[in-house]
Structure 1
Amino acid sequence: MATKKVIKATPGKMIYHNMEFIDSDVGRPIRIIAEFMGPSLIFAEEGVKNTIVFFGSARTLPMSEILKRRKKCKNAKELERLKKLESVAEYYDAARELGAKLGRWANKQHKGFAIMTGGGPGIMEAGNRGANDVGTSSVGLNIKLPFEQHPNPYIDDELNLQFRYFFIRKYWFMKMAKALVVFPGGFGTLDEMFELLTLIQTKKYGDRMPVVIFGKKYWNKVINWKHLADTGMIDKDDLKLFHFCDSVDDAYNVITTALEKTME
């Protein structure tokens, strides 16, 4: 029978300096409060007041990277995976281009705008990369996971945040968000998108914000939006909570037009 580990006092030190205590089950409330309160100090210090948030898959690769990996790869399973990713490779380049274009717009506003992503690879990397290309503040909200998630190199060092808890990370996605772009993704992207749409639908989120769902062909295969409305699961007006866009220019115009109206 395993014995329960006892947290011992460290002579001469406060209990909250004991990392064994902080990392324990009883230390969880302290960890939660730290993740909830800490980012506000960082954002204030770095002058980040408003964000444009990018959601999307961590697995997406640009076509150039897929071709490079295919040349070196001899593993059949990996080659099959790369083949599947070819169909969504265009979205990496689109996310990078949109991040840069929105970044240039943000730079002219002098309103403390930043491009914010989940901080990992794929679409998240592309969004941060676009912001980094044009010198816009680039925020990454990383999450501690056993696979996939690692900080991409295009996040500003001072704005590279690490989270343990999904629910607090989601809070910070939404806290300063003025617009949202959802690129193709899997379970995590669906979770983030629907939570935010639910908050807007139920008026739990303060201001109505522009929400762009990028890649209509992909999303219409994943979700039967019309069926949700036809069966009364959502109101038809709920389909107006977001805009489908298939081009960077269209997404840019939807977002900036809406934001500029709020700043008039």
Structure 2
Amino acid sequence: MSAANDEALVPPEGLAEQIASASAYRLAHEDTDLLSSDDLRPLRLQLEFLKPERAMRAAGIQSTIVVFGGARILSLEAAAAQLDEVQALHRSDPDRPNAHREMFAARRAVKYSRYYLEAQRFASLVSSRFQREGRREFVVVTGGGPGIMEAANRGAYQVGARSVGLNVTLPHEQKPNPYITPELAFRFHYFSLRKMHFLLRAKALVAFPGGYGTLDELFEVLTLVQTGKMPKVPVILVGSAFWKSLIDFDFLVEDGLISPEDLKLFSYAESAEDIVRQLEAFYGGHVPDASHPEWVP
């Protein structure tokens, strides 16, 4: 072979480094482009199921109580501070645009702050009772964000109990509230997997006033129970005046869209103690056996 041919066989300088850094050479589990591809969606779904599941098992969590409610509901302290600010602005400039609307919204926030307090108190009551001596029963689970979610995680935190937060990636990023147990703060891409983890260990759903997200989760649970896809659990709507103003369940019965028996799938409560009493009545004062799950989606 001639010297010219020998030179042609010598790879260009830097080619070895280029090969080593190419995406094709990456280990499959380190290739983020591959993992983000459409073909790998089934694997991402599996990972998003397994990661929280492994952490829940490691934490010894046997049963949970899901707390839903509005992200915009403030604590009394925050609502009162907001009202003071709006009142000060109103005194200095009563004719500014939207002044009356801002005043109405601030007063309404103070009114709704009672639900923040009741969610906080309920989480404290149920967590202190069922997480004694290392027990991990009736662990509070929320969507991990502000408002009622923060209140429930905060209530568990105040009594030294664990609680779970299931955040989800959104266009306007939702940050986890600071009261979630750090090793039980999860973030999801897929709403479907998040919904599954809400209910896998759920022994009750407590719904405080809220918006689209709260209604979505509430009606999903009612549908699953109504259709027998999951066993009946207490579904407790906190604030009967709010819920009865929002949804006319009797109208659905009168027009034959649901059966009268479907009204028994949920109940109303007004206070933290009332919620606890209803849980005790449903379960006879005992935590249900979670070692044999009654449903697996």
Q: TM-score, normalised by structure 1?
A: 0.89
* Match 1:167 to one of 176, 192, 201: 192
For structure 2, the 5+ residue unaligned runs are 1-20, 90-97, 290-297
Question: Residue 123 of structure 2 aligns to which amino acid in structure 1?
Answer: G
* Match 2:237 to one of 202, 210, 213: 213
Compute the RMSD of aligned alpha carbons: 2.2
Q: Tell me if structure 1 keeps the 8 A contact 2:80–2:110.
A: no
Task: Report 1:74-113 matches (<5 A).
Answer: 81-108=105-132, 111-113=135-137
Task: Report 1:14-33 matches (<5 A).
Answer: 14-33=27-46
Deviation of residue 68 (structure 1)?
1.4
For structure 1, the 5+ residue unaligned runs are 1-7
Q: Tell me if structure 1 keeps the 8 A contact 2:206–2:236.
A: yes
Q: Tell me if structure 2 keeps the 8 A contact 1:180–1:211.
A: yes
Q: Tell me if structure 2 keeps the 8 A contact 1:115–1:136.
A: no
Indicate how the Cα distance of structure 1 residues 245 and 119 shifts in structure 2: closer, same or farther if over 3 A, else same: same
Instruction: Report whether the alignment pairs 1:130 with 2:147.
Output: no
CA deviation vs aligned residue, 1:66-95 (integer Å, no higher than 9, x gap): 121343465957655434323321100010
* Percentage of pairs with the same residue: 39
Q: Tell me if structure 2 keeps the 8 A contact 1:58–1:148.
A: no
Indicate how the Cα distance of structure 1 residues 148 and 214 shifts in structure 2: closer, same or farther if over 3 A, else same: farther
Q: 2 CA distance for matches of 1:98 and 1:66?
A: 20
Per the alignment, residue 245 of structure 1 pairs with: 269
Q: 1 CA distance for matches of 2:133 and 2:209?
A: 29
Per the alignment, residue 60 of structure 2 pairs with: 47
Worse overlay, 160-169 or 253-262: 253-262
Q: 2 CA distance for matches of 1:121 and 1:79?
A: 22
Task: Report 1:181-196 matches (<5 A).
Answer: 181-196=206-221
- How many residue pairs get matched? 256
Deviation of residue 10 (structure 1)?
2.3
Indicate how the Cα distance of structure 1 residues 191 and 44 shifts in structure 2: closer, same or farther if over 3 A, else same: same
2:131 aligns to what SS in structure 1? helix
Deviation of residue 45 (structure 1)?
1.0
Worse overlay, 38-47 or 143-152: 143-152
